[in-house]
Amino acid sequence: MTDAIDLDLHALVFDVFGTVVDWRSGVIRDVTEFARKHALKDIDPAAFADTWRGHYSPSMEEVRSGRRPFTRLDVLHRESLEKTLTTFGVPIASLPEQALTELNLTWHRLDPWADSVPGLSRLKSRYIIAPLSNGNIRLMLDMAKRAGLPWDAILGAETAQAYKPAPQAYLRTADILNLSPEQICMVAAHNSDLAAARLCGLRTAFIPRPTEHGDQQTKDLKPEQNWDVIATDMNDLAQQLGCTQN
């Protein structure tokens, strides 16, 4: 039994891919079905998922650098999907457009980690909770509706018109919430996200997700700074922040 940590927080904002949902298992599930349906026998779904996700940060870097105007993640995911199919030797023109559109929506259909919904529900009883994800609004909305994620609002890159870890993503979110950065806690399984949030003045909470990248994961297994809260999962975070059991 830990005493509640008192940080005078008003809101918690969350990384989502990896922290709230298990993106890799969800993408593997849908790529498996896609490959079966279209008789793509040489595709290893896990390798495909990792390659697709490998384009994630570089695709946003085009926007962060100013080389490209803000473009929502659904569009970047689709471009990355086409690159991935090419890498795996699949001619894009051989596939129906509808099948590509449908596969791209896998990111809207990711399952939460088991502790996410109960933990978020507890946190919601005391704090404003919202995603601060690079996923676009419709993506986050579909995901929340399917999985029962009880967000108070959907914030993030599209609302802020900036991709994390750009400071504007954190600072504009604070401005929209009419809170000062230190009244907000960024929750993430990624040390780099927390480091960027801390530089903007937000409080930070780390939750390790040691299988986000599969059983060979090497990074983000441990907190790399003295984050304000270090929790084992979302329920432990709720407990440490004084949220009673539902």
Binding site for a second copy (CB under 8 A): 74, 128, 136-138, 140-141, 144-145, 151-155, 158-159, 176-178
Which of 49/243 has CB closer to a second copy?
243
Q: What share of the chain is helix, strand, coil (3-state, %, to 5)?
A: 50, 10, 40
Which of 31/154 has CB closer to a second copy?
154
Report which of 135, 81, 84 is spatially closest to residue 104, judged by C-alpha positions: 81
Minimum Å distance from CB 55 to a second copy? 21
Which of 133/191 has CB closer to a second copy?
133
d(CA 225, CA 230): 10
Three-class DSSP category at 166: coil
Three-class DSSP category at 145: helix
Which of 153/221 has CB closer to a second copy?
153
Which of 145/219 has CB closer to a second copy?
145
Angle separating helix axes 73-87 and 137-147, nearest 10 degrees: 90
Q: What is the DSSP string of 168-180?
A: HHHHHHHHHTT--
Minimum Å distance from CB 243 to a second copy? 15
Residues 6+ apart with CB under 8 A from 117: 147, 148, 149, 150
d(CA 71, CA 73): 7
Which of 36/146 has CB closer to a second copy?
146
Residue 217 buriedness (CB in 10 A; 0-12 / 13-18 / 19+):
middle
Which of 7/179 has CB closer to a second copy?
179
Q: How many CB atoms lie within 10 A of CB 46?
A: 15
Q: How far is CA 72 from CA 58, 92, 120, in A?
A: 14, 22, 25
